[in-house]
């Protein structure tokens, strides 16, 4: 957030983050025998868009009517909670910044995250579910610290 605040970026809106067609993990992520569903919107693209919007709001850079907008295509959204001692997850999205019809930025950002886990599902599943917001923040941090992204938000 501090990076954004100090960047000199203009205000921006957040468009849609759309999962790729038939993507596993778009609306629900399998955590062993359980299924984790997004608490925001219809799919995890909506969840990531809401998190990005919150980040921009905290940096006082969010303006729903801005001519500059951020959108994305969610390519990968996965948590593997099957590890006996560690588990991992990945998120990958292709972000686009447009000002009007002009594309000013387009890059794929991906993260991979690993955490301690357990053989016991009663331990592993909550640990995996609690790791997802961390993964989303890692993805957003990777985006907002990209100098090309920051330059795309400037006039």
Q: Are 153 and 112 in contact (CB under 8 A)?
A: no
pTM higher than 0.85, yes or no?
A: yes
The pLDDT profile of the chain, 155 residues, written as one tens digit per residue, is: 677 888 888 999 999 999 999 999 999 999 988 899 999 999 999 999 999 999 999 999 999 999 999 999 999 999 998 888 999 999 999 999 999 999 999 999 999 999 999 988 889 999 999 999 999 999 999 999 999 999 999 98
Question: In 10 A of CB 21, how many CB atoms?
Answer: 6
**Any idea what the CATH number is for the domain that residue 56 is in?**
3.40.50.10610
Specify the DSSP class assigned to residue 20: P
Angle at 109 between CA 99 and CA 85, to 5 degrees: 150
Nearest to 73 by CA among 55, 87, 91, 53: 91
Write out the residue range of the structural domain in which residue 113 sits: 2-152
Enter the tokens of residue 116: 């301690």
> Into how many domains does the chain fold?
1
Q: For residue 86, what are the CA distances in angstroms to 41, 62, 81?
A: 30, 37, 8
pLDDT value for 1:
61
pLDDT value for 19:
97
Residue 13 CB contacts under 8 Å (≥ 6 apart), including other chains: 62, 63, 64, 65, 66, 68, 69, 70
pLDDT value for 71:
98
């Amino acid at each position: 957030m501090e990076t954004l605040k100090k960047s000199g970026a203009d205000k921006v809106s957040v468009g849609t983050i759309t999962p790729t067609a038939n993507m596993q993990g778009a609306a629900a992520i399998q955590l062993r025998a359980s299924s984790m569903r997004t608490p925001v919107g219809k799919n995890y693209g909506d969840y990531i868009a809401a998190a990005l919007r919150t980040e921009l709001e905290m940096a006082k850079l969010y303006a729903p009517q801005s001519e500059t907008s951020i959108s994305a295509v969610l390519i990968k959204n996965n948590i593997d909670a099957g590890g006996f001692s560690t588990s991992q997850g990945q998120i990958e999205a292709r972000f686009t910044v447009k000002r009007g019809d002009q594309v000013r930025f387009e890059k794929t950002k991906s993260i991979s995250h690993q955490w301690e886990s357990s053989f016991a599902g009663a331990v592993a599943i909550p640990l995996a579910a609690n790791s997802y917001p961390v993964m989303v923040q890692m993805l957003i941090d990777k985006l907002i610290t990209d100098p090309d992204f920051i330059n795309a938000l400037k006039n």
